[in-house]
Amino acid sequence: MMACDCRVSTHRQKVDSQKADILRWLTGHAVAPAAIPWFEDIESGTTLKRPAFDRMQPGIFAGTIRTVVVWKLDRIARRQREGVHLLAEWCERRGRVVGITPQRDLSGAVGRLVARVLFGLAEIEHAYRRERQAAGIAVAKRQGRYHGRAKGTTKAQPARARLLHERGCTVAELGQALQLSPRTAYRYLATAEKT
């Protein structure tokens, strides 16, 4: 059996373009899209603790899902170590990952090698993006155009932090998923408890 996995990082983003490309790929390979389960998450790729992803994994480990189709490999993970480890686990269970942009079949030893390189590139790009953002903020501060967020605004909703915490995420995982410091994550949990 095949499954399709889509992920975006924020609620402002949509999985529509990923789904459209995956549907084209399925149709081109004579696979009926209606017969395939779809797993969609709105979570950071820096964490593997994602609700739909967590629902998909037991099928892979049980052997009921043999192929996972993703738009790009970085939709699975943004960190090399976690991505390669996960792919190795799936391959040990004779699982297969197909990334359609660019099209790659990541099964077998060569697939794992390619995956290692691609996960490494995704991790580097993630780090570069954060560096560019920090550099942009530094320039804006020097020019007097950046004053931080207005007091009382937050990066994410405290209720979202509480929901993820109730689903078993640790404070460190909350920090990764919502891009918060541990201190802010604790503050969000305290705020959510009061509401």
Local confidence pLDDT in tens for the 195 residues of the chain? 899 999 998 888 888 999 999 999 999 889 998 889 999 999 887 888 899 999 999 998 888 999 999 998 778 887 767 777 777 788 777 788 888 886 665 566 555 566 566 666 666 676 767 787 878 788 888 888 776 665 555 555 777 778 777 877 777 777 777 777 778 888 888 876 655
155 near 177, Cβ under 8 Å? no
Tokens of 148: 């931080």
Q: Report the amino acid identity of residue 15.
A: V
**Strand partners of residue 128:** none
* E strands present in the chain: 2-8, 38-42, 67-70, 96-100, 103-105
Tokens of 147: 């004053």
Name every residue whose Cβ is closer than 8 Å to that of residue 1 and which is 6 or more positions away in sequence: 36, 59, 64, 65, 66, 67
Name every residue whose Cβ is closer than 8 Å to that of residue 5 and which is 6 or more positions away in sequence: 38, 39, 40, 52, 53, 56, 68, 69, 70, 75, 76
Number of C-beta neighbours around residue 123 at 10 A: 20
- Per-domain residue ranges for the chain? 2-120, 158-194
Q: Is 28 helix (H, G, I), strand (E, B) or coil?
A: helix
- CA 31 – CA 25 distance, rounded (Å): 9
CATH topology of domain 2-120: Rossmann fold (3.40.50)
- b vs e for 33-72, b when ≥16 Cβ sit within 10 Å of the residue's Cβ? eeebeebbbbbbbbbbbbebbeebbebbeeeebbbbbbbb
What does R_g of the chain's alpha carbons equal in angstroms?
Answer: 19
Would the pTM of this model clear 0.85, i.e. be above it?
Answer: no
Number of C-beta neighbours around residue 5 at 10 A: 24
